[in-house]
Amino acid sequence: MSDVLLHQILSEMKSIKTDVSEIKLDVSALKSDVSTLKSDVSTLKSDVSTLKSDVSTLKSDVSTLKSDVSTLKSDVSTLKSDVSTLKSDVGTLTSDVEILKTNVDVLNTEMVEVKKEQQLTNKRLSSMESKQDIIYQQTGSLMETQTKTLSLLEQLQSDVEFTYQKTAMNDLKINRIETHSIHKH
């Protein structure tokens, strides 16, 4: 029995050696897997660190964008206010232009009237000069008539000068209104 027992022990030893050899191979494979896992974990840690850095950069970019949007909103608000002010100014200018047009129309009407009066005065003057010439030819030596005619001519000349001065004053007023209108704008 001792042989059988010995044989059995030897057989068991062989089996144990084989098992130990297989376990060694498994342990070696596990060590390799652990090493690979450690490398993968290290790579993952590096990737996580890179991702954290990228997220931090993105947060900074988002903050900058928010600030830019806020600035743009403020600029748009300012532009809207400026446009509103410009619209108001244009409305005021339009009203002023209408008033000036009305004033110019009135002055043009007055000028037409003054010119008509001047033409009538010129016709009267021309007529009186013609009549004076006829009187001189017909009466020759009648001083009294001549004196009256000269008096009328002087009056007429005074009227013409008055009309001329009135026209000049109206031209000056028109010029001042136009100048005032230009400086106001």
| Region of poorest pLDDT, from 1-15, 21-35, 84-98 | 1-15
Q: What is the mean pLDDT of residues 36-50?
A: 92
Show me where the domains of the chain are located: 2-184
Q: Is the pLDDT of residue 1 over 80?
A: no
Of 28, 27, 49, 30, which Cα lies nearest the Cα of 38?
A: 30
What pLDDT score was predicted for residue 149?
78
**Residue pLDDT, tens place only, 71-113:** 999 999 999 999 999 999 999 999 988 998 998 899 889 899 9
| Strand residue runs (E) in 67-141 | none
Percent of the chain exceeding pLDDT 70 equals: 94
Confidence of residue 142 (pLDDT cuts 50, 70, 90): low
Q: Is the pLDDT of residue 137 over 80?
A: no
**Contact status, residue 61 vs residue 149, Cβ threshold 8 Å:** no
* Residue 158 buriedness (CB in 10 A; 0-12 / 13-18 / 19+): exposed
What pLDDT score was predicted for residue 58?
92
pTM: 0.38
What pLDDT score was predicted for residue 141?
60
Of 138, 136, 160, 159, which Cα lies nearest the Cα of 149?
A: 136
What pLDDT score was predicted for residue 52?
93
Ranked by mean pLDDT, which of 85-89, 125-129, 149-153 comes out on top? 85-89
Please state, in angstroms and rounded to a whole number, the distance separating the CA atoms of residues 149 and 129. 9
Please state, in angstroms and rounded to a whole number, the distance separating the CA atoms of residues 171 and 39. 101
Across the chain, mean pLDDT equals 87
* Residue 117 buriedness (CB in 10 A; 0-12 / 13-18 / 19+): middle
One-letter-per-residue 3-state SS of 86-102: HHHHHHHHHHHHHHHHH
What pLDDT score was predicted for residue 176?
86
**Contact status, residue 149 vs residue 132, Cβ threshold 8 Å:** yes
